Structure 1
Amino acid sequence: MEHEIEHRPSSALLTVELGQSEEIQAGAMGSHTDGIAIETGTQGGIVDSLKRTAFGRESFFMNTFSAERPGHITITPPLPGDEVDKDLQNERLLVQSGSFLAAEAAIDIDTKFGGGRTFFGGEGLVCEFQGEGAVWLQTRSTDALLSWLIPNLLSNGSGDNDSGLSIDF
Structure 2
Amino acid sequence: MKIDILYKPSYSVAKINLDSGESIKAEAGAMMSMSSHLGIETHKAQKGGFLKSLKAAFLGGESFWMNTFSAAQPGELLLAPTLPGDIEKLDLNGTIYVQSSSFLASSPAIEMDTKFQGMKGFFSGESLFFLKLSGVGTLLIGSYGGIEALDVDGEFIVDTGHIVAFQEGLDYKITKFGGWKSFFFGGEGLVAKFSGKGRLWIQTRNVPTLGAWFRSELPPKKR
Q: How far has the Cα of 1:151 moved from its partner?
A: 3.2
Structure 1 unaligned residues grouped into runs of 5+: 157-161, 165-169
Aligned residues: 157
Retained in 2: the 8 A contact 1:33–1:72? yes
Question: What whole-Å deviation, never above 9, does each CA across 1:55-80 have from its counterpart, x for those lacking one?
Answer: 11111111111101001111100110
Q: Distance in 2 between matches of 1:108 and 1:16?
A: 20
**2:16 corresponding residue in structure 1:** 16
CA contact (8 A) 1:56 1:98 kept: no
Q: Where does residue 55 of structure 2 map in the other structure?
A: 51
Q: Does 1:76 align with 2:137?
A: no
The question of whether the paired residues in 2 share the 8 Å contact of 1:119 and 1:125 is answered with no
Q: Which residue, 107, 110, 125 being the options, matches 2:110?
A: 107
Q: Does residue 2 of structure 1 match 2:63? A: no
Alignment of 1:116-131 (within 5 A): 116-121=119-124, 122-131=126-135
Shift of 1:105: 0.8
TM-score of the superposition, structure 2-length normalised?
0.64
Alpha-carbon offset, residue 21 of structure 1:
1.0
Give the whole-Å Cα distance in 2 for the aligned partners of 1:163 and 1:123. 28
User: Any idea what SS the aligned residue of 2:59 has?
Assistant: helix
The amino acid of 1:126's aligned partner reads F
TM-score normalised by length of structure 1 = 0.83
Using the TM superposition, give the Cα deviation of residue 149 of structure 1 relative to its aligned residue in structure 2, in angstroms.
2.5
2:99 aligned with 1:96: yes
1:55 and 1:137 map into 2 onto residues whose CA distance is: 19
**Counterparts of 1:21 and 1:80 in 2: how far apart (Å)?**
32
Distance 1:106 1:80, change over 3 A: same
Deviation string for 1:47-100 (max 9, x for gaps)? Answer: 1111111011111111111101001111100110101111012x1111112210
Higher relative contact order (CA 8 A, sep 6+): 1
CA RMSD of aligned residues (A): 2.2
Residues 5 and 14, structure 1, Cα contact 8 Å, conserved in 2:
yes
- What's the CA shift for 1:117? 3.4
**Unpaired segments of 5 or more residues in structure 2?**
146-160, 163-205
**Identical positions, percent:** 37
